Amino acid sequence: MVDTKTNDKVIDYADDRLMLKVLQSDELMPNIFLCIVAGYETASTALAYSTYILATRPVMQDKIIEEINHHNWNNNNNNAEEIYETAHNLSYSDLFIREVLPMYPITIKAMACECNTTKTVCRHKIEKGFIIQPDIFSIHYNPNLWGPEDPNLF
């Protein structure tokens, strides 16, 4: 949980001054809400894409169900430690999720950065104020990076 007050000093690089890192009481609830909403949106989007892949590929769906059944994952697992251990043993499910996330990146816009000074990068002049955003889809689906197979295949 976020510390509401700490003695740590934080450098504010906007005007190069030290300030105390203090979260006021009236800022606490909005920050908690933001954390919940931000986590909810990304998790729900990842689950939606995972559900889509499972719905369109029943063989994968069957493998995940078989793995869950193999590890006796059921409603009788009430012990948190047992649930944690079982979840870590679901290797196919873990690999499935790790494959879905690059296929359908969620935080594309979070990768954008604004250039704060005019610079030349690889003989390309980038003016101050320009927004730089990598093309995540081209990186994730580039056959030169991932092999000659169709990168759209799961």
Would you say residue 68 has pLDDT above 50? yes
Orientation angle between helical segments 25-56 and 58-70, nearest 10 degrees: 110
Contact 64, 96 (CB under 8 A): yes
Q: Dump pLDDT digits (tens) for 103-142.
A: 888 776 667 888 899 999 899 999 999 988 888 888 888 8
Write down the pLDDT at residue 114: 87
Predicted confidence (pLDDT) per residue in 96-107, tens digit:
998 888 888 877
pLDDT level of residue 70 (50, 70, 90 thresholds) = confident
pLDDT score of 1 more than 70: no
- For the CA atoms of 142, 100, 135, 106, the dihedral, rounded to the nearest 10 degrees, stands at 180
Residues 6+ apart with CB under 8 A from 89: 71
User: Structure tokens of 1?
Assistant: 């949980």
pTM above 0.75, yes or no: no
For residue 146, the number of C-alpha atoms closer than 13 Å in the C-beta half-sphere is: 16
Residue pair 64/99 in contact by the 8 Å Cβ criterion: no
Residue ranges of domains in the chain? 107-149
Q: Round to whole Å and give the CA distance between 100 and 28.
A: 34
Comparison of pLDDT for 48 and 22, the residue scoring more: 48
Beta carbons within 8 Å of 58's beta carbon, 6+ residues apart: none
Average pLDDT over residues 4-24: 56
Write down the pLDDT at residue 9. Answer: 54
